[in-house]
């Protein structure tokens, strides 16, 4: 969707794609950058917009949604935007968006069109603004910094017996997400807000931090940043072939003070 991203429009509460996404089926993921998909009986190499794990899913056989590229120089004519783990034959599957780059564009549309009113009522939205040592995704109303994170490593969705999974490796490193929270806390000045927006392109019941060997260190760092004024919010987008909607958004800050 990268070459048509500018064509995103918002009508009412729906953020509309420039053209409907195409239904297909994943054949295999041969490497981090490519997903082979069956598009109306033809196997096509498609761009995979996330290079990391998508939960612990084996994608082979899952239905997917593709956006078409209109860039003649691109080697892959489609990008895989979403997959579904619903049972085969489900007529209206729930989609899990996997395009982390697109999430920022959805959030920008949501902010600009005041679809995230519980967080902020936007009069102005600027992209990529500096706060201390950090370059953040958005500055709203000249005083509210918003940084978007779209985790895909830990999918919080029920999986039926038809879905194959891989063993999940132990998490040994400190999550970059919480490192960023600490930087935000140190950089805030009077009358400024910093919002870490944890964004899901499916209906996630509530963000959970995976435990690691650095769990106590991470917990202390997040708690300190929250005490300095960093707010943590979650937004769930509901995605279909036509576009995305804000399904719900709510504050997570109190749970990080526990």
pLDDT score, position 177: 63
Burial of 107 (0-12, 13-18, 19+ CB in 10 A): buried
pLDDT of res. 2: 45
pLDDT in tens, 31-48: 999 999 999 999 999 999
State residue 173's pLDDT score. Answer: 52
Mean pLDDT, the chain, rounded, equals 89
Measured distance CA(176)–CA(107) in Å, rounded: 20
pLDDT of residue 54: 95
pLDDT computed for residue 100 by the predictor = 93
* pLDDT beneath 50: ranges in the chain: 2, 4-5
pTM above 0.75, yes or no: yes
């Amino acid at each position: 969707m990268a070459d048509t991203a500018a064509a995103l429009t918002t009508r009412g509460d729906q953020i509309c794609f420039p053209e409907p996404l195409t239904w297909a089926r994943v054949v295999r993921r041969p490497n981090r950058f490519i997903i082979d998909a069956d598009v109306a009986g033809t196997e096509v190499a498609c761009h995979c917009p996330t290079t990391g794990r998508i939960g612990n899913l084996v994608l082979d056989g899952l239905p997917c949604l593709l956006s078409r590229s209109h860039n003649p120089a691109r080697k892959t004519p489609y990008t895989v935007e979403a997959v579904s783990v619903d049972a085969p034959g489900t007529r209206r599957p729930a989609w899990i968006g996997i395009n982390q780059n697109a999430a920022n564009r959805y959030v920008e549309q949501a902010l600009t069109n005041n679809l995230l009113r519980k967080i902020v009522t936007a009069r102005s939205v600027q992209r990529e603004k500096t706060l201390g040592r950090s370059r953040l995704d958005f500055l709203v109303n000249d005083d509210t910094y918003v940084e978007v994170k779209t985790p895909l490593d830990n999918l919080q969705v029920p999986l039926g017996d038809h879905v194959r999974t891989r063993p999940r490796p132990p998490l040994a490193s400190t999550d970059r997400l919480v490192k960023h929270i600490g930087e935000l806390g140190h950089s805030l000045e009077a009358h400024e807000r910093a919002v870490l927006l944890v964004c899901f392109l499916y209906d996630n019941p509530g963000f959970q931090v995976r435990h690691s060997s650095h769990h106590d260190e991470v917990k202390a760092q997040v708690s300190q940043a929250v005490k300095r004024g960093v707010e943590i919010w979650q937004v769930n987008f509901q995605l279909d072939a036509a576009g995305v909607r804000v399904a719900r958004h709510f504050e997570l800050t109190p749970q990080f003070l526990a």
